[in-house]
Chains A and B, each alone.
Chain A
Amino acid sequence: MSILPVYATSFFVSEKRPDGMQLVIRYEDGVVYTNMNLDSRFEGYKGVLHGGMVFGILDVLIWYSILMETRKICMTRKTEMEFLKPVLCDTPYRAEARVVAVEERDIIAFAWVQDAHGDHYAEVKAVFREAKGLDVAQFVHSFDFSQGTPDMKEFFYSLIPGETVKY
């Protein structure tokens, strides 16, 4: 199991953001996931996580999933989100994402939140589009690798043509 690095200022994943979620994103057997248990700071209604927060978590996981599967850096283009059951604060869940298809510049992915029994609470189908004109080196260098495992640092640096990982 590997731990992915984080965009240094990310609200959702940076451990340097005490106001954020500080999610730890894991990669194992080709699957990107996080185990989460979020407090009431992120609620929309008493004890229930805000729908936008739930979506944001799944959006992050899809982004990583696409990167790991295709080596493409993408932006969210369209999403179809279903809220099946309330995702509660102070309750453990697992959120997971998988790439479904790659259609030229568009990547279709699916992500969901589930409980320990595998019951789904929220699902999203998303179309992401490859970012044009992105400076890949600048992008990779904006990540904080202190939270991730060394193999993931190597993977991220391998995205930069001609650059090798620096320890």
Chain B
Amino acid sequence: MGRLPCYRECFFCGPEGDGLKMKIELVEGVVFCDFTLEARFQGWEDVAHAGIVTGIIDEVMWWTIFAETRKLTLTRKLDTEFLRPVYCGKPYRVQGTLVRQEHGNIHVEAAIAGEDGKAAARGHGLFRVARNIAPSEFATKLDFSHVSQEMKAMLLSEST
């Protein structure tokens, strides 16, 4: 289906400011983002900072849940393994997978892999449905400018 919207003020996916400006997609039921980090996000010698890596994983996990369930959630737990360095200036894909839902708890996984397909980092997250976020207010903060009408209709019809 193509590009998902982004939350305008988010450091990771928002289109303005000094953040990562991740372009997250939903294609054939899979949420992913292809990205190449700028050197300004390094922790050491062109290696992305672990906080940036974790944030990318967290971000794709959130959109994986939203795309599949239309539920607004908050991260409760996030376990991350750093298997190989994620280098700035090299292309990677991060992809999420919804594992299961148990009442208000949603388990999700995500992994970052390079062009060779080898995982560089992977995470398991537990998210909880946010009780204090109004879907209608949330929707006003989303930027749909690069999103297809089909996608927009699908997301808004169930989140508002």
With contact pairs A19-B18, A45-B133 given, residues A10 and B43 touching in the complex (Cβ less than 8 Å): yes
A53 engages B79 (CB within 8 Å):
no
Q: How far is it, in angstroms, between the C-alpha of A46 and the C-alpha of B58 when the chains are bound? A: 17
Chain B residue numbers with a CB within 8 Å of A11 are 40-42, 49, 52
Nearest CB in chain B: distance from A97 CB, A: 13
B82 engages A81 (CB within 8 Å):
no
A7 engages B51 (CB within 8 Å):
no
How many residues on B have C-beta within 8 angstroms of the other chain's C-beta atoms?
36
How many residues on A have C-beta within 8 angstroms of the other chain's C-beta atoms?
34
Chain A residue numbers with a CB within 8 Å of B74 are 45, 83, 86
A44 engages B11 (CB within 8 Å):
yes
Residue A155 interfacial (CB < 8 Å): no
A78 engages B54 (CB within 8 Å):
no
Chain A residue numbers with a CB within 8 Å of B19 are 41
Pick from A9, A44, A86: contact of B10, CB under 8 Å: A44
Q: How far is it, in angstroms, between the C-alpha of A55 and the C-alpha of B125 when the chains are bound? A: 13
B77 engages A82 (CB within 8 Å):
yes
A17 engages B79 (CB within 8 Å):
no
Q: How far is it, in angstroms, between the C-alpha of A93 and the C-alpha of B82 when the chains are bound? A: 27
Per-residue contact bits, chain B 1-24, to A (CB 8 Å; 1 contact, 0 not): 000000101111000011100000
Binding site for A on B (CB under 8 A): 7, 9-12, 17-19, 39-45, 49-52, 54-59, 74-82, 133, 141
- 22 sample A-B contacts, Cβ–Cβ < 8 Å, listed by A number: A9-B42, A10-B43, A11-B41, A17-B40, A41-B19, A44-B11, A44-B12, A46-B141, A50-B10, A52-B58, A52-B59, A55-B50, A56-B51, A57-B51, A59-B49, A59-B50, A59-B51, A76-B50, A78-B80, A78-B82, A80-B77, A83-B74
